[in-house]
Chains A and B, each alone.
Chain A
């Protein structure tokens, strides 16, 4: 089982450090999503894996073989590009069989392989079409088939859904995941869409400013974000600024309980994150419950599947989300309600005082 391993990978473009000290293991047959905002270095990382960029420092291993300096055309990791990069002067089948054609495989075998892959991506009979005649979704399937035609040891996808419209995107995420599981190939997907990452991935790498902020399964990353960046990038979160105080946390005039995930010295600045669906609008002012903050409703957004209650509190504005199935007493704008922040749902991170926000 050949895992792909990155050791202390760094990439500089001039004085700009695009990727900084990345150590990752991409397990054989698993799908990893590189997730982050644009400019976080995820695409550069993917291009280094493909061999399209050389790392400034560090090592890239495939099993026990070092491939750091191996050029792209010798690695032959299949790759799906952002706008698919299908060759307009070749037909669909010729695009798919491109890697075989330049190896000198006979025409009939090329065609047979192309048909096989067209069947895999459910495009039987499209082999003789021109690229210009295909829809966005069909192009994506051709690009996937083309990347798989060479039976690559690693399958790379750079923002594969970005050229598709929203509805098609959701369907293709599921379809691509099922295809990947069927083929059982080590796959790395670059995306900026957390839903996409969580739909498809076994492992998510959250990246920011060239660094890996957190590595874990989708559930780990959602329920136990490692820092406030991850908490804000994966799902939604309300943030409160405060200080540690004798095992509890002071936010404005209020003292909040939270699980001791790590040791904080007294008065050290912290950020407390709480997801909108984890905050609760309490029935009554119950001091015994603790962790309550007075709030005033400023806006109610009811979009059917969820109801978002916008609140103004002495420590900042917050949003509470209720699902359609959850019961909630009738509320109106301007009403004063107690906001309950369940201690076990709070995430506390050290706050960098210098950096604003």
Chain B
């Protein structure tokens, strides 16, 4: 076979790929930027804007809204931490709600992924329907369940639990933690009701988020652990949990960020003194107080808080993933 050198033959002309899609792509980017990014830029800009009495605002560059958030409107004469407290309650409720939801979703999802494909499909339909169900309907359901007249308090009364507690002298404890009025149990408004409803709200999300990791868990791992003498509980602790540590952490973080924005649950079930930043954003932008730039500033702070948690979470899970 004759060997001509590669060099004396021409390099072929490349196959020409038409790129009509570049302009289309740029157009799509522009449109999506307008709808998905510009709103946040408006929030940022207006947070530095000037409040006009009524409900309006004007462009400006002042830090008064941030000052009001961190130090109070009347600083330096007096110091107020009302809004920092609100942020604190946002973090508090969101954190507890997310942790409870994930803790309850983990065993459920583990059992779910051990079921037949058909049963899984049925459960997924139920879970997705529950997940997409509007917060107003969920709050509606718990509102009835926790209401004094026809919910849990009435049930506890009816089965004699209330009287039993009174007889035992334990009723005072429920009053002390804010779960009872002088005569009967009372769950509205309470931290218990708030956290319960929030955990319920994101529980299906938690299942859906944990589902991929747990369903890809190789059953041979579990079986191997069993053949080496591990009891079911030990298997979960030594094999299943460690291998889904990152998804567990990631899901908790995502749901935490999601719950930071909850409005209806808080406004119905939480005591006004424990209202969160989401409620006060609502009040500032469209509700009772009407101060759009201040609302924007609070939104920016909520956004930055969420962002910081997500970034910190990513850093942590990376460190945990390589360790």
- Residues on A lying within 8 angstroms of B by beta carbon are 7-8, 10, 21, 23-24, 54-59, 68-69, 71, 212, 215
Contact = CB atoms under 8 A, between A and B. Distances in A.
Interface stretch (B5-13, B96-104, B222-230): B5-13
Contact of A56 (B2, B5, B8, B11): B11
B5 to A, nearest CB: 7
A8 B15 contact: no
Size category of the B interface is 10 to 19
B6 to A, nearest CB: 4
Given A8-B4, A215-B1, A54 B9 contact: no
Interface in B1-52: 1-6, 8-15
The 10 closest A-B pairs by CB, nearest first: A68-B12, A8-B6, A69-B12, A69-B13, A8-B9, A57-B6, A21-B6, A54-B15, A71-B15, A57-B11
A64 B9 CA distance: 16
Contacts of B4: 7-8, 23
B12 A55 contact: yes
A320 B85 CA distance: 87
B5 A59 contact: no
Nearest to B4: A8
Contacts of A23: 1-4
Contact of A69 (B5, B8, B14): B14
Contacts of B1: 23-24, 212, 215
10 contacts: A8-B5, A8-B9, A23-B1, A23-B4, A24-B1, A57-B6, A58-B6, A59-B12, A69-B13, A215-B1
Interface of B: 1-6, 8-15
Contacts of B3: 21, 23
A68 B14 CA distance: 9
Given A57-B12, A59-B10, A215-B1, 8 more contacts: A7-B4, A10-B6, A23-B1, A23-B2, A23-B3, A57-B11, A69-B13, A69-B14
A56 B62 CA distance: 60
Contacts of A10: 6
A58 B12 contact: yes
Contacts of A58: 6, 9, 12
Given A23-B1, A215-B1, A54 B12 contact: yes
Nearest to A9: B6
Contacts of B11: 56-57
A150 B2 CA distance: 34
Nearest to A56: B11
Contacts of B8: 8
Most central of B6, B10, B11 by chain A CB within 10 Å: B6
B15 A57 contact: no
B115 to A, nearest CB: 25
A21 B314 CA distance: 48
A7 B5 CA distance: 9
A56 B8 CA distance: 14
Contacts of A68: 12
B173 to A, nearest CB: 64
Nearest to B2: A23
Contacts of A59: 9-10, 12
A215 B3 CA distance: 13
A117 to B, nearest CB: 30
B17 to A, nearest CB: 9
A321 to B, nearest CB: 32
A57 B2 contact: no
A8 B5 CA distance: 7
A59 B12 CA distance: 7
A54 B11 CA distance: 10
A71 B4 CA distance: 25
Contacts of B5: 8
Contacts of A7: 4, 9
A247 to B, nearest CB: 29
A215 B14 CA distance: 29
Contact of B14 (A8, A24, A54): A54
Nearest to B12: A68
A59 B13 CA distance: 11
A21 B1 CA distance: 12
Nearest to A23: B1
Contacts of B10: 59
Nearest to A68: B12
A19 to B, nearest CB: 11
Nearest to A70: B15
A58 B9 CA distance: 6
A55 B9 CA distance: 12
Contacts of A56: 11
With a 10 A CB-CB cut-off, give which of A24, A57, A215 has the most chain B CB atoms: A57
A211 B10 CA distance: 20
A92 to B, nearest CB: 28
Contacts of B9: 7-8, 57-59
A21 B3 CA distance: 8
Contacts of A8: 4-6, 8-9
Nearest to A214: B1
